[in-house]
Every structure is written in structure tokens, then in C-alpha cells.
Amino acid sequence: MRVYLGIDTSSYTTSMCLLGEDGKIKADERTILQVASGARGLRQSEALFQHVQNIPEITARLSSALKGHELAAIGVSVKPRPQDDSYMPVFLPGVAIGEALGNLLDIPCHQLTHQETHLWGGIASAHGPKVRQFLALHLSGGTTELTAVRRREGNNQLQIELLGGSLDLHAGQFVDRLGVKLGLPFPAGPSLERLAHETRETVPVATFHRGGMVSFSGPLTALEKRVGEVSPAVLARTCFASIARTLVKWIRWAEESHSTRELLIVGGVAANQLIREILQEQLPAWKLYFAAPRYSVDNAYGAAFFSFVSSGKAGEAFAATYFSE
């Protein structure tokens, strides 16, 4: 069987994924980068060094899944977003191994951005949106963006139009900084979510959206001031509830200029169950597609899927099953 390799070396995860031509994942290997206790992140140089260390270990784990199969193409994330000025050194190790393998094996190495990797991973794991044009929310520690996405005629390239973003903190930074303040390990999302499910109580926090731009610095400051006064569980639940309320405002703003009511939600923050529940409750007119939780966080599934659907008639035919028009 022909298989397709996806590679993504993001700010906090080294990821590789093998996808078969039957559309099934043959192997999905990831290593979370190590962050010192109490720290709120990694420098790019620190993350890059860890990727260089992790890649040989991950390829060793992939080797058994590759046996008996033919590696047909590679997809690799090369930068954060599909913009000319978008760049981060952390993607260099992934690009290097992807291009090296492509050259040695004489197979295509398809380049895409980290954001496109998330979108393709969301489309594949959620089996939608089914339409050519839809909106997408990318919510993570490094990105908080509302975009209009169009799948171009005749190929599977995604045309992404930025509609709005954050004035200050990203949604994932809000979560991580509150979590670290509460003494939780970084990244704090999973631990903070477990805390949030211990209560139904929240405290009042103002949220902000204006003209397509959101802000999370105000809610973070308000909740940090309540540390020691209010239980960590209440602060955790308030954090996710305030993010969800901000997103509802944002999406309703987009209704004024876009007729589509199909929305794909990707990124690590989108894995949070409380945020999903609030969006589904507050946006009944929208058809919401959430990437599967395992493929909301950083991973290489989308890069592998893109390399498959971009590699000949078999991939194109398979991609057609994901879209109704």
C-alpha cells in the first residue's frame, strides 16, 4: 500500500503521521516539548533544539508502520500562516527532514502552513465542512483568528482570508497563563479543563469584541486578581466561559457580511468540551464542525492528508468524498 507522511514541528509539539491510500491513519506519533516548571513557554531556539532531538526518536517509532508499504509523498508545515511575512524557526527541522526524504526517495514534498495543517486535519477528522466556502476559527497558544476559507476550483488548495484576530493575547495564552498562575503544568489546557468540570459556578468577567478584533488581556487580569479569593475550579470555568462568550460575539459579527453558516473550529483550545457546548447552545443557526479532540491540538494528520489529496487521481477522488459541492 502507498502511504503518505505528514510532518509538523510547531512551537510545542514534534509530530509525524502516516496515512494510507485507504484514508486510514497507519501511525500517529507526537512528542510534547518540555517546558520548565513555572515557565510560560519556550524560546524558539529551545523548541528548535528539542525538535532536532525528537525527530530521530519519532522516525524510529514510525519505522514498523512503514514496513511493507511504499512512501508516496510527504506533506510538511513550513511556517505558521499563509502570509508572506509569516515565519518561525521551529519549522526548519521539519522542512529539512521532509525535503531530504523527498530528494532521496524522489517523491513529492508538498509544503503547507501550520494553519492549513490544522484546517485539513479538522476537515478530515470532522468530515466537513462539505461546502467549498466556509468560516474557520483557529484557536491556539500562537493563533486566534477568524478566517473565511475557500477550496479552490480544480485543486485542493485552500484560499484563506483573514477576517479578524486578537489585539493582545491568544486564547491559548489566556488559558496557559491562568493555569500557570494556579500552579498547573504548561501547557495548562487539560489540567484547567479538569478543574472547570468540578463546578458550575463562574464569576462575572467582561469580554471584548470590536470590528473583528477580540481581546483576552482584560479577562486574564480580572481572573488573576481573584486567585486566592475564588476557588481554582471557578476561575477555570470562568476562563473557558469567557472565551466562548467572546467567540459567540465574534461569529455573530461575521454573520453580517458572510452568508455561510458552516464553521470549522480547530486548534488546541477548540478541544475544550465546555467551549464546544456553549458554542453549540448559543449558535443554533450554525452548523459547527469541530476537529476531533486528538486532532485539535498540534499534530501532523492534516499535513499527511494534504499530501495524499494533492498526489494524483486517487487522492483527488478520496478528497471528493469530503465535499458535497
What pLDDT is recorded for position 39? Answer: 83
What pLDDT is recorded for position 324? Answer: 60
Which bin fits 224, alpha (ψ -120 to 50), beta or left (φ > 0)? alpha
Structural domain boundaries of the chain?
2-126+295-320, 171-292
What pLDDT is recorded for position 110? Answer: 96
What pLDDT is recorded for position 154? Answer: 63
End-to-end CA distance of the chain: 29
Read off the pTM: 0.94
CATH superfamily of 2-126+295-320: ATPase, nucleotide binding domain (3.30.420.40)
CATH superfamily of 171-292: ATPase, nucleotide binding domain (3.30.420.40)
Mean pLDDT split into 10-residue runs, the chain, 325 residues: 97 97 95 90 95 98 94 97 93 98 97 97 92 94 95 80 97 97 94 98 97 98 97 98 98 95 97 97 97 95 95 72 65
CA angle 271, 288, 165 (to 5 degrees): 70
CA nearest neighbour of 235 among 199, 271, 207 = 199
Q: Identical fold at 2-126+295-320 and 171-292?
A: yes
What pLDDT is recorded for position 157? Answer: 84
What pLDDT is recorded for position 40? Answer: 83
What pLDDT is recorded for position 316? Answer: 73
CA angle 149, 153, 156 (to 5 degrees): 65
